[in-house]
Amino acid sequence: MRGYSAESLKKMRQFYEAWAMFDSDSVIGIEQSPSADNSVIAITELKDADDQIDIFRELRIPNLAEFPVEDFFKVPFTHHIQILSGVKDASARNYYIRKCAEEHLSVSSLKKSIKDDDYGKCEDIPNNFGMTIADGQLARRAVLAFKDSYALDFINAEEIGERDLQDIDERVVEQQIVHNIKKFIMTFGRDFTFVGNQYHLEIYSEEFFPDLLFFNRELNALVVVELKSGKFKSSYLAQLMTYLRILDDKVKKPHENPSIGIVLCKEANRSFVEYVMQDYDKPMGVATYTTTKEMPEMLKDTLPDMDELKKLL
């Protein structure tokens, strides 16, 4: 093979050295392998991506459960080099590999994402997905589908006419979300479809009305969102559990995965949430949100007045 520049060869070497632990033929790979037996599998003769993925699973690599195997092979070489050059932490590299594969980022978008430290700003939502979703890959996708906090900037407390932020109850927030459902979905995440609000559920003549119901195409599952205006309470999980059981028994289609529940509240103690969530056997998570009125004064001062903005538009 000919035609490779010195720079191209340098990048190839950089790529290999970064992932050499996956090559059982390399000294680095053998030394770092936690396996002491002779189950060495050559990667050099693999013919397709499926074979590669199977071998990645068979090799006993530390933290393999966290490594995005399928996504790794979907990311172009140039993107890989950009990740290796700009990111040193292994978990952060995994994050950007997933982000590239799922969002089909261009090289320039990837550079901006790394520069803006999207990984550092992203924290997993407190959840029990790992314990309640049997499929490990699906559980990881569920974690990635949600954020731990959402900025619902389209909910303007001052425009609603409330004198005090604490006076804004769940129904007001719900109405604002429904009125701005497109903006909410764009904020909430990818592949969400709005099913309805105050969705009617009934079991044994008892009626229930979850605040918001979505369907996520990536997860192939219904997602119920329960809105709370104050601080997280453990009773919210019991309420969510009821909704999820009825949804799975009465609404979920046979080909769909178990429904997922999200409590969206104003404030939550992460450690407490994770503690009380352990005994629930339905997949659920807890996220927080902020509204326009809660933006820092310094940030709000940099934004144009609403009337001025309308004139500019």
Q: How far apart are CA 108 and CA 196, in angstroms?
A: 37
The per-residue pLDDT for 179 is: 78
Q: How far apart are CA 103 and CA 281, in angstroms?
A: 31
Same domain, 72 and 215: no
pLDDT at 307: 54
Is there a single domain that holds both residue 167 and residue 292? yes
User: CA dist 130 to 134, 139, 219, 278, Å?
Assistant: 8, 6, 14, 11
pLDDT at 184: 80
Residue 308 lies in a domain: no
Residue 304 lies in a domain: no
- Same domain for 63 and 104, yes or no, is yes
Q: How many residues does the chain have?
A: 313
Sequence-separated (6 or more) residues with CB below 8 Å from residue 312: 304
Domain boundary among 77, 99, 120: 120
Closest CA to 90 of 70, 63, 109: 63
**What pLDDT score does 156 carry?**
58
Contact indicator for 284, 127 with CB cutoff of 8 Å: yes
At 296 the three-state DSSP class reads coil
> Which regions in the chain score pLDDT beneath 50?
26-47, 49, 52-53, 55-62, 159-167, 295-296, 298-300, 302-304, 306, 309, 313
Max CA-CA distance within the chain? Answer: 75
Q: Collapse the DSSP code of 264 into the 3-class scheme (helix H, G, I; strand E, B; otherwise coil) and give the result.
A: strand
Query: Of 93, 120, 147, which residue is a domain's last?
Result: 120
Domain's final residue, options 69, 89, 120: 120
Taking Cα atoms as reference points, which of 163, 186, 159, 153 lies closest to residue 294?
153
Q: Under 8 Å CB-to-CB from 260, ≥6 apart: which residues? A: 129, 142, 216, 219, 221, 222, 223, 224, 244, 283, 284, 285
**Statement to judge: residues 115 and 134 lie in one domain:** no
User: What gap in Å lies between CA 21 and CA 259, rounded to an integer?
Assistant: 38
Same domain, 141 and 289: yes
CATH number of the CATH domain containing 269: 3.40.1350.10
Distances from the Cα of 256 to the Cαs of 112, 134, 219, in angstroms?
A: 36, 14, 9
* HSE (side-chain half, CA atoms, 13 Å) at 168: 27
Same structural domain, 113 and 176: no
Of 153, 129, 156, 126, nearest in space to 276 by CA: 126
| Domain enclosing residue 227, as ranges | 129-298
Q: Report CA 22 to chain centroid distance, whole Å.
A: 26
Choose among 92, 143, 94: nearest CA to 118.
92
Q: How many domains does the chain have?
A: 2
Q: What pLDDT is recorded for position 293?
A: 56
The helix/strand/coil state of 136 is: helix
9 to 16, 22, 221: CA distances (angstroms): 11, 20, 45
pLDDT of 296 reads 47
Q: Are residues 33 and 139 in the same domain?
A: no
Structural domain contains residue 60: yes
**Integer Cα distance of 91 and 120 in angstroms:** 10
* Residue 286 placed within a domain: yes
Q: How far is CA 33 from each of CA 94, 276, 283, rounded to the nearest angstrom? A: 19, 37, 34
pLDDT, position 309: 47
